[in-house]
Structure 1
């Protein structure tokens, strides 16, 4: 359930989902596959690492039916992700874009804090 006092800002969005930042709760919200999941900042980046670590080539090569899907249960969330190869690729694209935008925002803020004379404000 989303807190009514939450202040959401869109971080990154694709046709498959979106990532939002909540400044009041200091967390990220992932909207993917018709559901929304809240992550603490560190848990969000750990979840991205877990998704990046999924071996897609092994899923493709393995002829067994169980290799068609992977199950990921993020830390400190009640959600379980059951992902096929397309879902993994779509989720990676979404998380990569969100991470890039988060890092870009940090760089821009750091640049804005430096005056032309090189003195931090």
Structure 2
């Protein structure tokens, strides 16, 4: 559960989960499969890289039972994700969408600080 005192804003959401940004604690919250997990900013991007590095093709082509799921334990969290190939795809969509929105927001803020507001509006 997200801290009730947190000031969160939705960054990106799909039918499978969402990413929220907490400006009070300077972190991101992942809402996925009915649970929430808090990530420091750097840890969030490390987690995304870890999820992106999972080879789904290998999981699907390997007939052994051990390849049916991937276990991921994010740095500095008490959470353990047990992910099927479909879970990995759903999580990648959420994390990629959130990363894009974070970068887009940063670019817009930078342009506004530089006084290029008329360029954005035009």
Which TM-score bucket, shorter chain as reference? over 0.9
Alignment of 1:1-121 (within 5 A): 2-116=2-116
TM-score normalised by length of structure 2: 0.92
State the TM-score, normalizing by the size of structure 1: 0.93
RMSD: 0.9
Corresponding residue for residue 119 of structure 1: none
Structure-1 separation of matches of 2:34 and 2:100: 23
Q: Is the 8 A contact 2:2 2:36 kept in 1?
A: no
Unmatched runs of 5 consecutive residues or more in structure 1: 117-121
After superposition, give the CA deviation of every residue in 1:3-47 in whole Å (9 maximum; x if it has no partner).
332100000000000000000100000000110000000000000
